[in-house]
């Protein structure tokens, strides 16, 4: 069973998240120590406001993460608030953990009173389309072409 919690309630997870993210995105994190990267996660270990990072557990073991933050992409402040930093370890993929994290972070955005939430992705289009997210734009971001998706939260 998948359960979702606030990183604020599991602060020791930050060091594992740092290892996962540095292995997944080595260019982005090049030159930074694991302690520095873990510090980024500690800054997201909050219970309200933005950013707020969530963590997933399966059978009591850390199994993924997502953050609700000010912007989906720093260079595009209109897409606010945004979901990002979504990661599930490779052996645990394709069993619904990413979907559960997106749902939980979307609910958090709704509970915070936001009218809509955005995310930018090159890899998770299928997941978002299955959850009725709407493609609003594609943007060039460095070497990548990213799709910006929106989920309306109020009618």
Ligand X SMILES: CC(C)(COP(=O)(O)OP(=O)(O)OC[C@H]1O[C@@H](n2cnc3c(N)ncnc32)[C@H](O)[C@@H]1OP(=O)(O)O)[C@@H](O)C(=O)NCCC(=O)NCCS
**Closer residue to ligand X, CB minimum distance, 51 or 98:** 98
Residue 145 binds ligand X, judged by CB under 6 A: no
For residue 99, state whether it binds ligand X (rule: CB under 6 A). yes
61 membership: H or E segment, kind and range: strand 61-69
DSSP category for residue 144:
E
Beta bridge partners of 121: 147
Minimum distance of ligand X from residue 155's CB (angstroms): 26
> Using the rule CB under 6 A, which residue among 68, 105, 124, 147 binds ligand X?
124
**Cβ-contact 69, 82 below 8 angstroms:** yes
DSSP H stretches of helix in 10-135: 13-24, 34-43, 97-111, 125-130
Least separation in angstroms between residue 61's CB and ligand X is: 14
When binding is defined by CB under 6 A, the residue of 3, 48, 75, 93 that contacts ligand X is 93
Site for ligand X contains 18 (CB under 6 A): no
- By beta-carbon proximity to ligand X, the closer residue of 38 and 128 is 128
Distance, first Cα to last Cα, the chain: 32
Residue span binding ligand X (CB under 6 A) among the ranges 4-12, 69-77, 82-90, 135-143: 82-90
Closer residue to ligand X (CB): 19 or 24: 24
| Residue 141 DSSP SS3 | strand
Contact criterion met (CB below 8 Å) for 78 and 30: no
Q: Is 97 in the site for ligand X (CB under 6 A)?
A: yes
The span from the CA of 81 to the CA of 132, in Å, is 18
Site residues, ligand X (CB under 6 A): 24, 86-88, 93-99, 121, 123-124, 126-127, 130
């Amino acid at each position: 069973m998948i359960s979702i919690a606030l990183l604020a309630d599991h602060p020791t997870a930050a060091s594992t998240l740092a290892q996962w993210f540095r292995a997944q995105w080595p260019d982005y994190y090049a030159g930074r120590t694991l302690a520095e990267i873990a510090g980024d996660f500690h800054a997201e270990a909050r219970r309200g406001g933005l950013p707020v990072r969530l963590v997933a557990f399966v059978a009591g073991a850390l199994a993924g993460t997502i953050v609700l933050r000010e912007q989906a992409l720093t260079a595009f402040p209109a897409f606010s608030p945004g979901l990002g930093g979504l990661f599930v370890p490779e052996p645990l993929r394709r069993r619904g953990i990413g979907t559960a994290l997106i749902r939980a972070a979307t609910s958090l955005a709704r509970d915070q009173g936001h009218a809509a939430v955005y995310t930018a992705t090159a890899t998770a289009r299928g997941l978002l389309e299955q959850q009725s997210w709407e493609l609003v734009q594609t943007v060039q971001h460095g070497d990548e072409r990213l799709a910006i998706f929106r989920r309306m939260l109020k009618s």
